[in-house]
Amino acid sequence: MAFTAMIAGAQLLGSPPVTTNLNDYLLVPLRVHLLSAKESPDISTTLTDKDIARILGKVNRVWAQAGLHFYLESLAQEEAANPELFLAHEGPAERFALLSLRPEETKASNLFHVYYLKQMTVNGIFLGEAIFVKDTASLREVEGGMDEPLPRVTSHELGHAFGLAHRQDKTNLMASGTTGIWLNEGEVRQVRARAKQFPWIEPASAVRQKADEWARTGKPREAEALYQRLAALAAAENGPERKPEPNAAKANEMIELTFASTKTYADPFNDVDLDVSFTAPDGRTVRVPAFWAGEQTWKARYASSKIGRHRYRTECSDKTNRSLHSLASVIEVNPYTGDNPFYLHGPIGVAADKKHFEHADGKPFLWLADTWWMGLCQRLSWPDDFKTLTADRVEKGFNVVQIVAGLYPDMPAFDGRGANEAGFPWTTNYSRVNPNYFDAADRRIAWLVESGIAPCIVGAWGYHLPWLGVEPMKKHWRYLVARYGAYPVFWCVAGEGLMPYYLSHTKSEDAAFQKKGWTEVAAYLRGIDPFHHPISIHPTDMARRQLEDAGLLDFDMLQTGHSDRASIPNTINLVRASRAAAPPMPTINAEVCYEGILDTCFDDLQRFMVWSCLLSGTAGHTYGANGIWQVNRRDAAYGKSPHGGNWGNTSWDDAMRLPGSRQVGLAKKFLERLGAWWELEPHPIRPLKFQSAKGSPARRCGFRRTTSSPPL
């Protein structure tokens, strides 16, 4: 389960206002009226003075972004005037009758008035002389929004009182009917300019000077009232009520923080980078990249096994943006009490023996992956298809899924078959990512994790690098790390790293460019991932050969062929070569003989491949079924590859039931029940030559070790 904390205005984490100097705050008098009417429940509010204190506190936290502070001049609990006139008007005419509810004795022209009543047709309204708010207001929730309606409606109507118009941006304070609370820079300037036109709105510095003067001239009571007003401002900014309660998360579970910018950027993805430094209770600090979430919003995701209070501070590339830069708060990480292995034992890393994987707490992890290269596209529908396939794989014992982050194989760029319900991962000119695409991908990735399956996220198929370019590909990977690094994932830098596009006329040049470029991208990925997830690259043969520096890898992926039994020699030879190579690292045969491909490679071969790899020392095995990797549908097969061929039209749900997937799952279960499988060493049977007792010709014999197998 992912926990989300919304950071918005001071309601959230006390983000800095337009000015952090208290002397520059503008102090605004506010008179609040709690209306009642005998035998008129539609007028009589049930709010109390404690409610008003809470509401006003949150109003001030919203308006802190503009350097405004509203102080309660007085609270009037009073009978409404002319209730019968108000009740007699309905629809649009109601708003004109609202002013008739105002008692004459509490009217004044040197402050703002807010009247609360029980019911009216709108949540709130500013009528020039006064603001009216119904205490039964309701709003549409938005990310980063206010946690209750009344402070937001009150703040919104005060915005109208300062001349602000409605806006379409749903996270903006002036959006109609939402919980949004943010103002942009232009609105902040407009409000402050308008506020300075009211003679009864004063800067805090002027109020302090007046208080000091009155104290010197024998007006101690008047001076004390002003000092108390200033003390309330200071307490709102620095006091205990402003200090946020820690956001709570469970150990190893992802927590998400949302940051909204009051400054508007024309190209947020390219104009701004946001990072968040988290310091754990043991003092260790990690720097986590945040990702652009659309509009003027950024998000950061974090997870830790360390129990206790974690502190964080933001760092924005635009250090003048005080709504993003140098924000600080805390997260409380509590013990995890469920049974998800990733949260219970921690994410996966490489064991000290460099032969197998293990959880953060040392529990061994036997990799069994399925191949869903195009699993994030809409052809595997969410939620029905995706959850169906996930449940089947969980039941059979799979614990990893190899899945591409939108830049797919076997198709040109921006092929409609690769879109999900929100389109493509990048705009068609590669100018920026499409956050809506990744929002849809988030649901799928999170579901895998919640189901006990670790996503092995492939950044892109290798031949996309010449199209996108090395620097944009780094931004692509930064985005993936920001979105998914807090999950228990494996990173796969690229798929078939050295393979040029199928129809390229410059294949040699492309392959050379890709080897150099993917090496640079892999080094960048290793440098920016604060969680240090295991890294590999899906190869044309062996991952070590795809990069200029094999030391950038944590495990060696192989691809050994799809030629049925003819692929057996290459499989054995590559596995043995990988296990003998330096530097040592776990080996995974990440692609071999998809079941059913070109009507070959069925379950007997799947059994042979999984056992030949595991018994030769691999850290697990990857299975694939033709029909799943490219997501064939019954009503729409994937179709032709760019080279014109077709791998087969078996639908994904029929491919899901091919027997090989259960057979490889049984192999994993056998080893896990056998005991300390990670301590086993490969011992190929070696024929021995000996002379028979009767002097007959020498014959070859092999030794076979017998063991009792545990029940499956």
- Give the range among 73-77, 157-161, 176-180, 262-266 with minimum mean pLDDT: 262-266
Closest CA to 530 of 352, 283, 290: 290
Which has more pLDDT, 220 or 658?
A: 658
| Residue count of the chain | 712
- Per-residue pLDDT averaged across 350-354, rounded? 97
366's tokens: 């036997």
pLDDT for the residue 20 = 44
Query: Over the chain, what is the mean pLDDT?
Result: 90
Dihedral angle of Cα 247, 250, 254, 256, to the nearest 10 degrees: -10
Across 53-57, 142-146, 683-687, which has the greatest mean pLDDT? 53-57
Q: At what angle do helices 659-674 and 603-614 cross, to 10 degrees?
A: 30
The pTM score is 0.69
Dihedral angle of Cα 10, 7, 422, 655, to the nearest 10 degrees: -160
Question: Quick one: CA dihedral 317, 529, 398, 612, positive or negative?
Answer: positive
Closest CA to 534 of 455, 635, 423, 614: 455
Closest CA to 210 of 192, 198, 222: 222
Rounded to 5 degrees, φ, ψ at 292 are -70, 125
Amino acid at 322: R
Place of tokens 């996108």: 468
Amino acid at 241: E
Place of tokens 């994904």: 652
Rounded to 5 degrees, φ, ψ at 154 are -60, -45
Burial class of residue 388, CB neighbours in 10 A (0-12, 13-18, 19+):
middle
CA atoms within 13 Å, Cβ hemisphere of 299:
26
Q: Using an 8 Å Cβ cutoff, are 181 and 62 in contact?
A: yes
Closest CA to 329 of 267, 394, 246, 268: 246
pLDDT for the residue 65 = 87
Percentage of residues in the chain having pLDDT higher than 90: 77
Report in angstroms the alpha-carbon separations of 472 from 301, 410, 462, 465. 22, 21, 14, 9
Strand partners, 359: 348
Name every residue whose Cβ is closer than 8 Å to that of residue 388 and which is 6 or more positions away in sequence: 653, 656
- Per-residue pLDDT averaged across 517-524, rounded? 98
CA 444 to chain centre: 12
d(CA 60, CA 106) in angstroms, rounded, equals 23
pLDDT for the residue 686 = 60
d(CA 537, CA 554) in angstroms, rounded, equals 10
- Per-residue pLDDT averaged across 602-625, rounded? 97
Q: Using an 8 Å Cβ cutoff, are 612 and 576 in contact?
A: no
Going by pLDDT thresholds of 50, 70 and 90, the confidence category of residue 709 is very low
CA atoms within 13 Å, Cβ hemisphere of 684:
10
- Per-residue pLDDT averaged across 104-108, rounded? 95
Beta-carbon count within 10 A of 651 CB: 17
- pLDDT of 8 strictly over 60: no
Dihedral angle of Cα 413, 419, 423, 424, to the nearest 10 degrees: -30
Closest CA to 336 of 351, 325, 347: 347
Going by pLDDT thresholds of 50, 70 and 90, the confidence category of residue 712 is low
Rounded to 5 degrees, φ, ψ at 652 are -60, -35
Burial class of residue 649, CB neighbours in 10 A (0-12, 13-18, 19+):
middle
d(CA 445, CA 161) in angstroms, rounded, equals 45
Q: At what angle do helices 204-216 and 220-238 cross, to 10 degrees?
A: 150
**Strand-strand pairing, 535-536 and 490-492:** parallel
Closest CA to 5 of 327, 249, 171: 249
In the chain, what is the straight-line distance between the N-terminal and C-terminal CA atoms, in Å? 31
pLDDT for the residue 5 = 44
212: three-class secondary structure by DSSP: helix
